[in-house]
Structure 1
Amino acid sequence: MARAPLLQLSGISLTFGGDPVFNDLDLVVQQGDRVALVGRNGSGKSTLMKVMAGLVEADQGSVVIPPGTAVGYMEQDPDLSGFATLGDFAASNLPEGEEYRVAMVADGLKFDPERPVETASGGERRRAALAKLLAEAPELMLLDEPTNHLDIEAIGWLEEELKSTRAGFVLISHDRAFLEATTRATLWIDRGQVKRNETGFAAFEEWRDKLWEEEDDQRHKLDRKIKAEARWAVEGISARRKRNQGRVRALGDLRAERANMIRRQGTAAMALEASETSGKRVVEAIGVSKRFGDKLILSDFNIKIGRGDRIAFVGPNGVGKTTLLKMLTGEIPADSGEIKLGTKLDMAVFDQNREALNPEHTLWDALTTDKDMGVSGRADQVMVRGVPKHVVGYLKEFLFTDAQARAPVRSLSGGEKARLLLAKIMAHPSNLLVLDEPTNDLDIETLDLLQELLTDFDGTVLLVSHDRDFIDRVATQTVAMEGDGRATVYPGGWSDYREQRKATASGKSADSWEAKADGKAVTKADLKAEQKATKVTQGAPAAKAKLSFTEKHRLDTLPAEIARIEAEIAKLAELLSDAELFTREPAKFQKATEMIGQRQDALDAAEMEWLALEEKAGG
């Protein structure tokens, strides 16, 4: 059965100064489409999405949205001017009386609608923009990097929302696991052309590589044909000059066709070089605790980090991952306990706020003025792992153009800033890499290369990330920070941690998940074997149920949710207490009556859920 189109682009062409971003582009998004929009950094993904949203006007072509179809766009840098709180912004386009929709999604996205706009962080503003889009529930959602600044739990919540929605959506993200879980089709921007594959992102790389292989075959055949025709032109043209001018012109056409083939953008020439080998012990934390005011960050935490370990730190936003990272590297002190740093440490830091980059500096300045990162400070050269290189040449290795060398850092996209910071770090040999959210904004190809470099790196890696696939590929141990000062060390990556967490919640002793005596991480096969060997025998009494982390978190947050719903009911009741409302505004009276019933149902459900969890917690 044919699906109705929600949006149609026809003959779209767009140029920003130089080469065209798109040329004669046709595209249709239909009802129920769940589309991944992928491509290299700078390929035009966000620009194309803005054309879809009507925020960027194409030089040629048309954008058609059927009458009555609502299209919503979540932008990366929302404008919140004119709004007092994040909630005011998120509810600004909702009909009166439906502001509760924002509260419903705010809980899943973990942002406070009452937060004043002037004190909100960039991440909170982006979450408010995402909440606004989800609360409005348009027929077509355009989502530009919605997982940036979300923690893993909120990403999981958003996954479930998108999997259950009846709306169509187009999604830009560099989170593999998120794309694989949510999409059914893929739009790939490659050198100004948009190709579509009717499978989700899980099949993208195989499809892309097949197209590239066909392109290479076509280029090889064309090269052979040009070579043969050129030989004929040299050896046989003199005797048949008049009769064969058409063939000469055809050779010229072949050469023009070959010249117009746009070469694929390569991957950045990133490389990591370990400096002098550090001591066997890199960091050891013994009974460490930390508190900021009333908030407990860490309590009696212990860890031994050895040379070559790759440790991932995971947990909700605000739980203290960056704080723990700074404590382990000696940047901030612990309140109690002891942190011992190893010998011969040579540290390189990638901070999530890109504070090492001055937005007013040029890319050239960024590489040549930071002597602490091992660069020379000379006008035209940068020392790269002990070898002088021209600044522009080194920038080209990280996929920057000649023109960008003198451009200000503030003009770069998020992915380009990440690449520039990696260029600074990788210019300097190190044996301890501290990476706080390095995966934000990087394209899939660059993420793949970074993962390979970290896996092969001879030094030690401390990593904070919300990218589950990246953690699985890189980490040898995972530190899960669960709030209230709790931080537990698990062997393996994200998937290993989740399996172990489930087993622990099912009654398995946490002690059995310690690393083996030889220091090697427990594998998935080891875990399954242990689980099989320790199954409860048939007929044995079942252990008392324990709350999982998610259930405990839900039990902790339900009282606030119940109080919020009760406050909404009270406001509606106050509105309905106006004796003249029905006569004056019958539609508003009817709407408020329906809403108070919905809110009462929600209150009953929340109270029942709280009672069930409270009973389970009490054993």
Structure 2
Amino acid sequence: MSVIEISNLTFAYEGSYDAIFENVSLRLDTDWRLGLVGRNGRGKTTLLRLLQGALPCGGAVRSTVPCDYFPFPIPDPCKDAIGVVEDVQPDYEYWRLARELYRLALSDEILYRPFRSLSGGEQMRLLLALLFARENRFLLIDEPTNHLDTEARALVADYLKSKRGFLLVSHDRAFLDGCVDHILSINKSDISLQKGNFSSWFSNKEQIDAFELAENERLRADIRRLDEAAKRAARWSDRTESEKHARNSGLRPDRGYIGHKAAKMMQRAKSLEARRLDAVEQKAGLLHNVERVDDLKLHPLSYRAQALAELTDVAVQYGGAPVVADVRLAVTRGARIALTGRNGSGKSSLLKLIAGQDIPHTGTVRLGSGLTVSYVPQDASFLSGSLTGYADACSVDRTLFLSILRKLDFARVQFEKDMADYSAGQKKKVLLARSLCEQAHLYLWDEPLNYIDVFSRMQIEQLLLAYQPTLLFVEHDRAFCEKIATETVRL
């Protein structure tokens, strides 16, 4: 057994006032299958880079085995896949790579195709095979699922379940449940480690949060009660003390008795104040890691006709063989349709076609008269510039747009940054927030959950179930699709 010792780890990016990690100490077994979770912008990728030794930091990270980071940078994607393999890992052994490819349902023939011609899922599985073809490494795997379709995710989860010794970042609940045995969670105020899969970790977190919220309410009530009692005791003590000096007609007050009574009342007031301060201190120790998940709102437009969009015998073709053909699809009012299929089966092309983009196709596409569409593309990497500038360019209300981002766990300090510096999850949230600002008859969302944290995924699920917009979407998160889709269309 080997271990990774993290002692007093402290790290902040240059020019930032806030430390991402401060005095973090952990001990990780390199035989574990660790899942790493946390909200967007909490530092998951940064932690992987720190473990790899790619960033300078305070404290110490000691490992008895080297750490490899995934995904690898690809120097020249124009090469055949075998050339990419040789660039990335010159000392690879072919038989080991071929073995891992087989376990990931890929033929070694894939090595002699241009790397860039492979689908995103094929590229991801090839690089995973290369990662596991080396031995005596602790593997740092950063969000491998974002280019995998539903079937490929299940396959990769089974593959990872047969391995040991990795730290995996993913927001896909079913995927994590299928392959990890420990959860490392970057919380609001600390980092916690727990044995089990995602579901057991989340159930435990819900119980802890529920207890802390109930305890917080009880202490708030106690503080109010003790505060009032202390004030009453203090008033009684003052009133009793004043009786010592009262001049009653012919009667002389027993000042010793009255002074003793006033002192007892004052002591009671001090005791109540001490109990109040103790309750305040207890309350201060609660809720540090309770995630705030505010309700989101959506205002879909109603449409008079039953059918909003119809595709009849549609084929999409980019010069060669059709990407997808013979598609018949009707999007009816109130439906939430999940488009499914393997990578490259044409799902994104159909969304773009309905969104009004110039996609080469044959067949008939009918959109309802006066139909308003809100489209969220799969790729968010194009975002740059200021949030307010983006809101103005998209003609959405600035205040509403920023308010939705706050509810999606954007700190106010993020509002001042260039969007180009956002994490992939934060960029996707920008696109979703813009769509939520738009009143539309039909919402078209292409992999809306890519890189988005678990808590925000649940937030979006609650929103869609509450407002029930007409939605056509592509998403490979199985838990999300099972909750949201009213019907599924497989290409």
Q: TM class, shorter-chain normalised?
A: 0.7 to 0.9
Please name the residue that 1:287 is paired with.
313
Instruction: Please list the CA deviations of residues 263-310 of structure 1 after superposition, one character each: whole Å capped at 9, or x if unmatched.
Output: 734225422211132421122222223333332223333233321222
Deviations 1:2-61 (A, max 9, x none): xx243122333444544443344332222531222212222222222323222334423x
Correspondent of 1:181 among 178, 181, 203: 178
- Corresponding residue of 2:335: 309
The amino acid that maps onto 2:452 is: L
Instruction: Please tell me the residue identity of whatever aligns with 1:220.
Output: E
Which residue of 187, 190, 194 corresponds with 2:191? 194
Map 1:336-347 → 2, pairs under 5 A: 336-347=362-373
8 Å CA contact 1:35–1:186 kept in 2: the answer is yes
**Letter in structure 1 aligned against 2:440:** S
Determine if contact 2:311/2:328 at 8 Å carries over to the other structure.
Answer: yes
Q: Offset at 1:259?
A: 5.1
Match of 2:408 in 1: 398
Partner of 2:246: none
What one-letter code is carried by the residue in structure 2 that aligns with 1:202? S
The TM-score normalised by the length of structure 1 is 0.65
1:369 aligns with one of 374, 381, 393: 393
**CA displacement at 1:98 relative to structure 2:** 0.9
Distance in structure 1 (CA, Å) of the matches to 2:17 and 2:105: 40
Q: 3-state SS of the aligned residue for 2:443? A: strand
TM-score with structure 2 setting the length: 0.80
Q: How does 1:537-576 map to 2 (within 5 A)?
A: none
What SS does the aligned partner of 1:273 have? Answer: coil
Distance 1:454 1:216, change over 3 A: closer
Instruction: Determine the structure 1 residue equivalent to 2:8.
Output: 11
Figure out how many residues of one structure are paired with residues of the other and give that number: 456
Letter in 1 for 2:66: A
Partner of 1:461: 471
Structure 1 residues 124 and 417, CA, compared in 2 at 3 Å: closer, same or farther?
Answer: farther
Residues 178 and 118 (structure 1 numbering): CA distance in 2 closer, same or farther, change over 3 Å? Answer: closer
The 3 A distance-change label for structure 1 pair 109 and 369 is farther
- For the residues of structure 2 that align with 1:116 and 1:164, how far apart are their CA atoms? 29
How far apart in 2 are the matches of 1:33 and 1:19? 31
Output the CA distance in 1 between the equivalents of 2:114 and 2:338. 33
How far apart are the structure 2 equivalents of 1:336 and 1:256?
Answer: 69
Q: Deviations over 1:432-454 (max 9, x none)?
A: 01111101011112111212323
Give 2:26's aligned residue. Answer: 27
Tell me the SS of whatever aligns to 2:480.
helix
Deviates more, 1:246-255 or 1:95-104: 246-255
1:94–1:136 CA contact under 8 A, matched in 2 = no
Q: In structure 2, how many angstroms separate the alpha carbons of the residues matched to 1:358 and 1:96? A: 38
Instruction: Give the 3 Å change call, closer, same or farther, for CA 84–288 of structure 1 in structure 2.
Output: closer
Q: What secondary structure is seen at the aligned counterpart in 2 of 1:25? A: strand
Q: Do residues 437 (structure 1) and 462 (structure 2) align?
A: no
Shift of 1:189: 2.0
1:424 aligns with 2:434: yes
- Percent identity between the two aligned chains: 27
Q: Which residue of the partner structure matches residue 36 of structure 2?
A: 37
Closer, same or farther: CA 80–291 of 1 in aligned 2, 3 Å: closer
Decide whether the 8 Å contact of 2:216 with 2:283 is kept in 1.
yes
**C-alpha separation between the residues in 1 aligned to 2:124 and 2:315?**
32
Name the CA distance, whole Å, in 2 between partners of 1:218 and 1:21. Answer: 29
Q: Does residue 480 in structure 1 map to residue 459 in structure 2?
A: no
1:140 shift after superposition: 2.2
User: How far 1:363 moved relative to its partner?
Assistant: 1.2
Q: Counterparts of 1:19 and 1:423 in 2: how far apart (Å)?
A: 25
SS across alignment from 2:297: coil
Secondary structure of the residue that 1:148 maps to in structure 2? helix
Q: Distance in 1 between matches of 2:184 and 2:145?
A: 19
1:348 matched to 2:374:
yes
Q: CA deviation at 1:477?
A: 2.4
- Residue 149 of structure 2 is aligned with which of 127, 151, 159? 151
The residue aligned with 1:170 is 167
Counterpart CA distance in 2 for 1:333 and 1:14 is 46
Which amino acid in the other structure matches residue 342 of structure 2? P
Task: Write the deviation string for residues 526-563 of structure 1: whole angstroms up to 9, x where unpaired.
Answer: xxxxxxxxxxxxxxxxxxxxxxxxxxxxxxxxxxxxxx
Q: Distance in 2 between matches of 1:462 and 1:27?
A: 44
Do the aligned residues in 2 keep the contact of 1:278 with 1:345 (CA within 8 Å)?
A: no
Choose which of 377, 383, 396 in structure 2 pairs with 1:358. Answer: 383
Counterpart of 1:206 in structure 2: which amino acid? S
CA distance in 2, matches of 1:43, 1:271: 25
The answer to whether the 8 Å contact 1:151/1:316 transfers is: yes
**How many angstroms apart in 2 are the aligned matches of 1:47 and 1:307?**
44
Cα gap change, 1:185 to 1:352, in 2 (>3 Å): same
Question: 1:168-317 counterparts in 2 under 5 A?
Answer: 168-227=165-224, 230-231=227-228, 234-236=231-233, 255=280, 258=283, 262=288, 264-317=290-343
Report the Cα distance in structure 2 between the residues aligned to 1:224 and 1:425, rounded to whole angstroms.
Answer: 41
Q: Which residue is equivalent to 2:55?
A: 56
Equivalent residue for 1:79? 73
Aligned pair in 2 of structure 1 residues 395, 440: CA closer, same or farther (>3 Å)?
closer
Match of 2:241 in 1: none
Equivalent position amino acid for 1:208 in 2: K
Q: What is the alpha-carbon distance in structure 2 between the residues aligned to residue 456 and residue 197 of structure 1?
A: 33
Say whether the 8 Å CA contact 2:461–2:483 is kept in structure 1: yes
Asked whether the equivalents of residues 9 and 57 of structure 2 are also in contact (C-alpha less than 8 Å), the reply is yes
Say if 2:120 and 2:343, in contact at 8 Å, map to a contact too.
no
CA RMSD of aligned residues (A): 3.5
Deviation per CA, 1:394-446, whole angstroms, max 9, x where unpaired? 54233323322221111111111111111111111111011111010111121
Higher relative contact order (Cα pairs below 8 Å, separated by 6+ residues): 2
- SS class of match (2:378): coil
CA distance in 2, matches of 1:319, 1:339: 18
Determine the C-alpha separation between the residues in 2 that align with 1:93 and 1:458.
47
Distance 1:319 1:122, change over 3 A: closer
User: Which residue of structure 1 aligns with residue 93 of structure 2?
Assistant: 98
On the 8 A contact 1:284/1:303 being kept in 2, the answer is: yes
Q: Which residue is 1:331 aligned to?
A: 357
| 1:116 to 1:251, Cα distance in 2 relative to 1, 3 A | farther
Unaligned runs of 5+ in 2: 239-261
Aligned 8 A contact 1:109 1:150 in 2 = no
Q: In structure 2, how many angstroms separate the alpha carbons of the residues matched to 1:363 and 1:321? A: 29
Contact map agreement 1:38 1:173 (CA 8 A) in 2? yes
How far did residue 182 of structure 1 move? 0.8
Is the alpha carbon distance of 1:145 and 1:345 closer, same or farther for their aligned partners in structure 2, counting shifts above 3 Å?
same
